[in-house]
A and B are shown apart, each in its own frame.
Chain A
Amino acid sequence: MKARITRLLMGLALTVSSLVTQAAQVQVAVAANFTAPMQKIAVEFEKDTGHQALLSFGATGKLYAQIKNGAPFQVFLAADDKTPAKLEAEGDAVPGSRFTYAIGTLVLWSAKPDFVDDQGEVLKKGDFKYLAITNPKTAPYGAAAIATLTKLGLFDALQSKLVTGENVSQTYQFIFTGNAELGFIALSQIIVNGQLTSGSTWIVPADLHEPIRQDAVILAKGQDQPAAQALADYLKSEKVKTIIKSYGY
């Protein structure tokens, strides 16, 4: 009996000590458009691995500036594929650690039901005052929107109607408040549990623009950090891929 208790206690002590040595924190910079899925993934990540992911959300360009100026991030989930590549080329990321964690889907959306048809014909009719997009210079969804309009041969006709949000959330706000009748945003913004929430939508065919690749990278501060590597591996797992998909990527 005594031996059994001793064994039990020893086992318990071993478990606790292994938790203490293994469980660590990882500081993660996350592109704003990936806020909701990443919050969910972080909860699952902690459940499955014991590691805790501390999340900071922001625009990719701003996060880049912070990383260049000494921010303590160990993993970076960007909204594009250019910024992680740039960080790697500049020696601020672990070489070869880059991977695509999500591919964005561009949609044309209106808060009004039946305003946007499922072929995007509404763009040709041009029966609206403002078409909202995200800044094409800084946001991949903006660049994809411009590419789509150009490919449809509508850019010149619609250029004077464009209003620009600084990020997809702001573009969503312009449309949601009715100030712009319609606009290009991310599918992930209007989907909850795999269902479109409101308004009317045209899912832009993927062949009208370059794929909106969102890449992640382990940063220099995450080198040889088990928790950082664990998060990178976790993001590639089937379980996480299913979560990401349910958010409209």
Chain B
Amino acid sequence: MLSDVDLAAVWLTLKLATITTMILLIVGTPIAWWLARTGSKWKGVIGAVVALPLVLPPTVLGFYLLIALGPHGPVGQLTQFLGWGVLPFTFAGLVVASVFYSMPFVVQPLQQAFEAIGSRPLEVAATLRASPWDAFFTVVLPLAKPGFITAAILGFAHTVGEFGVVLMIGGNIPEKTRVVSVQIYDHVEALEYAEAHLLAGGMLLFSFFVLLALYSRKGAHTWK
């Protein structure tokens, strides 16, 4: 069965994915909303920046995060100035990295959901004297609920599957930055294939059932 070290890695991964997903739903919603509604010339730029992690190798993202968050980097200078120290090798650092890394997986489904709603329901709500905030919470959120569920599932699953970025800025510290994917890598490198199979197989099943749930739900509930 899973050793204590493996269990600690599983627990840490779930904690990281949960916190990252919650932050992304809060941060990603206004970004997605803006991207869905704006006619600004900046839309393309912001959309491209959000989508970068889709195409960049995680090692590139991790390398730049390591430099930017480090003691000589701009973010590192700021965090030190604020008295927080530097972020690499800490759990908070992993959260920051994961938020960047999983951003498109949350923002894009939300953006699509908002675009599908269009401006019509909001205009109707406005004629009924609903304030923009009121209209957002009582009209947009319920209509965009499938988009939020998709975004949350994808953001969570993608963070669970994160490897390259964590490897670059994590430092492999037990219970702080050693997540499941890094633990699997270590088992394989140490030729401990039985232990690797246990975790890797678990990851495979987890990912499959998450996606199965996602796609089954979509088929069943579209347009409801």
Contact = CB atoms under 8 A, between A and B. Distances in A.
A77 interface: no
Q: How large is the interface on B (under 10, 10 to 19, 20 to 34, 35 or more residues)?
A: 20 to 34
B66 A61 contact: no
B167 interface: yes
Given A65-B188, A137-B186, A166-B189, A179 B167 contact: no
Contacts of A137: 186, 189-190
A55 interface: no
Nearest to B174: A164
Interface in A156-182: 162-166, 170, 173-174, 177-180
Contacts of A165: 171-172
A135 B189 CA distance: 10
A132 B171 contact: yes
A138 B168 contact: no
Contacts of A164: 171-173
B67 A163 contact: no
A178 B70 contact: yes
B190 A61 contact: yes
Residue with the highest number of chain A CB atoms closer than 10 Å, among B63, B168, B190, B191: B191
B38 to A, nearest CB: 37
A177 B72 contact: yes
B168 A170 contact: yes
A65 B63 CA distance: 26
A170 B89 CA distance: 13
Contacts of A163: 89, 171-173
Contacts of B85: 129
A179 B89 contact: yes
Contacts of A173: 63, 66, 168
A179 B66 contact: yes
Contacts of A166: 167, 172, 182, 185-186, 189
Nearest to B177: A163
Nearest to B86: A179
Interface residues of A, number: 24
Given A163-B172, A165-B171, A179-B89, A62 B189 contact: yes
Contact of B67 (A62, A129, A170, A177): A177
A162 B173 CA distance: 8
A66 to B, nearest CB: 11
B88 interface: yes
Interface in B71-89: 71-73, 85-86, 88-89
Contacts of A129: 85
A124 B25 CA distance: 46
A164 B189 CA distance: 14
Interface of A: 59, 61-62, 64-65, 86, 129-130, 132, 135, 137-138, 162-166, 170, 173-174, 177-180
Given A138-B189, A179-B70, 16 more contacts: A62-B188, A62-B189, A65-B188, A129-B85, A138-B186, A163-B171, A163-B173, A166-B167, A166-B172, A170-B167, A174-B66, A177-B70, A179-B66, A179-B69, A179-B88, A179-B169
16 contacts: A86-B191, A130-B171, A135-B172, A135-B189, A137-B186, A138-B186, A138-B189, A163-B171, A164-B173, A173-B66, A174-B88, A177-B70, A179-B66, A179-B70, A179-B71, A180-B89
Q: Please name the 6 residue pairs, one residue from A and one from B, whose CB atoms are nearest each other, closest first.
A: A163-B171, A61-B189, A164-B172, A138-B189, A179-B70, A179-B88
